[in-house]
Amino acid sequence: MYETILFPTDGSEATTSAATHAFSHAERYDAAIHVLSIVELASGLGTAGRDEAELAERRTERVSAAEKIVSKTAPDDVEATIAVEVGSPARVITEYVDDNDIDLVVMSTKGRSGAERIVFGSITDEVVRHANAPVLAVRR
């Protein structure tokens, strides 16, 4: 039924429940799983060497957070591909779905905290409305 599953994450503990569901589906359907983390560009970021260094640091942090989630939640027989992209989260996720033939997106309805929860919730809403794949939205 599902051959390739996408689990977008912001690296927070709030996404652990969604990770559990994503890896469970991957194991059940013997599907490949992609763990996607997105670095959002702040206004003005990327204009100078210092900003490029900051972007590289944020990418490294996102990879580490994704690896931590995989090590905590992935069954031994499920291999995950970790990807870090830069841009607007909803746009990056929907493009990633198309570019990687994703059959199912499993994502959390809540992100890190406070305003980020509202933003991540709206990201989930955007992905539900625009992705060319079913989206399983998991509450914490």
CATH code at 26?
3.40.50.620
Q: Is 55 helix (H, G, I), strand (E, B) or coil?
A: helix
How many distinct structural domains can be found in the chain? 1
d(CA 83, CA 10): 12
Is the pLDDT at 137 greater than 90? The verdict is yes
Separation of alpha carbons 25 and 42, rounded Å: 34
> CB-based burial of residue 6 (10 Å sphere; 0-12 exposed, 13-18 middle, 19+ buried)?
buried
Scan for tokens 């994503």, then name that residue: 22
Q: In angstroms, rounded to a whole number, what is the distance separating the alpha carbons of residues 10 and 94?
A: 16
Please write the tens of the pLDDT for every residue from 15-59: 899 999 999 999 999 999 999 999 987 655 555 555 888 899 999
Q: Give residue 87's domain range.
A: 4-138
CA dihedral over 140, 109, 20, 112, signed as positive or negative: negative
At 94-128, the pLDDT tens digits run 999 999 999 999 999 875 444 544 444 689 999 99
pTM for the whole structure: 0.87
